[in-house]
Chains A and B, each alone.
Chain A
Amino acid sequence: MNGLFLLLFLISAALITVRDPSAFLPALLDGAKDAIALCLTLAAIYAVWLGFLRIAQDAGLLCGMARLMKKPIRKLFHVEKEEAIEQIAVNLSANFLGMGGAATPAGIRAMELLGQEQRSQYARAMLFVVNCSGFQLLPTTVLALRAQLFAASPYEIVFPIFLSTLCALLIGIALVKLVYGRKCA
């Protein structure tokens, strides 16, 4: 990551200096502004979802859900800890239902908990890749945008998207198994 960061930064900085040096600092500040705006949005989203999830947890609902999904999660992630399984269950089901706001805090908690597992690198990579596939039941953002722009059939795209995100998910899982399976075995 550090190497990539340096490489991209240097090339971009060199390019912008050649083209328009006065645009350099505004570009950096724009990025920082984006980060602050995003943090505010995230704070609002997390405040709602973390509160909600805590209630679900205290009511024992998360445990119930984790119990349902325990077997496949254990198999895929090689984790034993109840708490980690619980967070992964929340993360996966929220992702699947398109509730990204609930998925991210649970995912971050899970990453933290997975850090203490035996095969932590494998499990963390697996969770990350699964989260990056964009797999969900209904791609709500795209549908809303298509409906807004008067597509003849906004829903027509659902099936191809479902297939391609499923591909991303499966290929991702296979790659992680391939790369880390060999490393850790």
Chain B
Amino acid sequence: MNPAAYILPCLFFAVFCAAAFRKVKLYDSFAEGVKGVVPLLKSLFPYLAAILILASLFEASGLSAGLSKALAPVFTALGIPSEICGLVLIKPFSGSGSLALLSEILQNYGADSYIGRCACIVYSTGETVFYMSALYFAQKKEKSSALPVALAIVSNFIAIVLGCLFCRIF
């Protein structure tokens, strides 16, 4: 068993005990917290739906495949293997999509290969930025979410290029 698996149950146990010790009404308090779920989802859903519908169309239209083919030479020049261009492109849009692509790459090229290891780096470096922007900028109408999104994508991309470099060093 992975030792990390013990962290969560221990954390819950410790916090509940500490709360009971400080005479918190656990049942009421827990329910009070859960109350926040519905308004949270209500504000998130419209933005999530818009982003995911766009992501689905982006993939189904073949635009993502075409883009990755067009950008392959650029990526290879930067040291990113051309086999994982699709992963780099889909990553900001879809978490489940990029996970499926990652397992496909690992199966095809082997988890220990250079390509496989680069794919792991690409998957881990950076979150699904557009999905996150839907979550984080949903609360307030904000015109300026484009700039933070661009900054996140640029910094993640530089880190991916560096990560593929690390893969060759280590």
Taking beta carbons and an 8 Å cutoff, which residues of A are in contact with B?
1, 3-5, 8-9, 11-13, 15-16, 19, 23-24, 26-28, 30-32, 34-36, 38-39, 42-43, 46-47, 50-61, 97, 99, 104-105, 107-108, 111-112, 115, 121, 124-125, 127-129, 131-134, 138-142, 145-146, 149-154, 156-157, 159-161, 163-165, 167-168, 171-172, 174-176, 179
Contacts and interface: CB of A to CB of B under 8 A. Distances in A.
Main secondary structure of the interface of B (DSSP, over half): helix
Given A12-B61, A55-B26, 12 more contacts: A39-B48, A42-B44, A50-B36, A52-B15, A107-B135, A129-B155, A156-B117, A163-B163, A164-B163, A168-B125, A175-B151, A179-B151
Closest 6 CB pairs of A and B: A54-B33, A164-B163, A31-B56, A31-B53, A168-B159, A151-B111
Q: How many interface residues does chain B have, given as a range? A: 35 or more
A105 B36 contact: yes
22 contacts: A3-B146, A5-B50, A15-B62, A27-B59, A46-B37, A54-B33, A58-B29, A61-B18, A107-B136, A108-B136, A128-B152, A129-B151, A145-B106, A146-B120, A151-B116, A153-B112, A160-B163, A164-B125, A167-B162, A168-B155, A168-B159, A175-B154
